[in-house]
Amino acid sequence: MKIIFLAYRSWALDIVSRIKTHSSIDEYEVFDNQKAFYEFIKDVAPTDYLVLVIGWSDIIKSEVVDEFMCVGMHPSDLPSYRGGSPIQHQIIDGVRQTKASLFRLTSELDAGGVYLKEDLSLIGNTIDQVFENITISSIRLFTRFLDLYPNISIDTQVRTDIPAYLRRKPGDSKIELDEFMEPNLVSLFNKIRCLTDPYPNAYIEDKHGNKLFFTGARIEEGNEDDKKGHNLYE
């Protein structure tokens, strides 16, 4: 089997390093940008390669996903949280346990049939800890997929009125001062922890335009018997 890997994030490349040695793979190519990928596939037959897409933000051209077998991982329980910034949207909404979905890419965003799902934890003080969870779940997903391919079933997504989320912008990372007055600080903690590097960090801004950025956070549960509390996310 010939594989094209599309990956550029460090955690996605870690996944590639683990699954590229699968016994079913005879040859593989790894691309970290769209231009090089499109240049390469001009000279190959669509039936020659299976394209595995991991942690890829750019939308692949519709003519490519129509001709090539493209399979991607989306860190949500599709069809929920399809679209941009699924990790951040879920964490900000208070989701702690979700699924990683392996699905067929189509011209409609994150709407293709789903092959497999794997449990995924969104717990962690930083986004790097969440990436570690995504890496583990993704390795299991792609390994199971390659074990079964091409004799693997696919389930059509049943989407009624579930919207596709928009990708978050740097300005969305701003924390309003009244958010610090919320009776439950978990929501504030979630916003900060899902926006640690490499994402645009959460910040507050004063009337002069000065910005104070948050590169990390830790939350402890208050307890009258233990004033030190304990970390809710460990």
- Residue ranges per domain, the chain? 2-148, 169-234
Burial category of 33 from C-beta neighbours within 10 Å (exposed 0-12, middle 13-18, buried 19 and up): exposed
Please answer whether residues 60 and 54 qualify as being in contact, where contact means their C-beta atoms are separated by less than 8 angstroms: no
Global pTM reads 0.90
81-85, 145-149, 150-154, 162-166: least confidently modelled range: 162-166
- 169-234: what fold? Methionyl-tRNA Fmet Formyltransferase; Chain A, domain 2 (3.10.25)
Closest CA relative to residue 126, chosen from 195, 55, 202: 195
Closest CA relative to residue 91, chosen from 52, 125, 47: 125
Q: In a 3-state reduction of DSSP, which class is residue 169?
A: coil
pLDDT value for 229? 44
Q: How confident is the model at residue 181 (pLDDT cuts 50, 70, 90)?
A: confident
Please answer whether residues 10 and 54 qualify as being in contact, where contact means their C-beta atoms are separated by less than 8 angstroms: no
Higher pLDDT, 186 or 182: 186
pLDDT tens digits for range 97-106: 999 999 999 9
- 2-148: what fold? Rossmann fold (3.40.50)
pLDDT at 223 over 90: no
pLDDT value for 18? 96
pLDDT tens digits for range 8-50: 999 999 999 999 999 999 999 999 999 999 999 999 999 999 9
Q: What would the mean pLDDT of 153-179 be, rounded to a whole number?
A: 89
pLDDT value for 163? 83
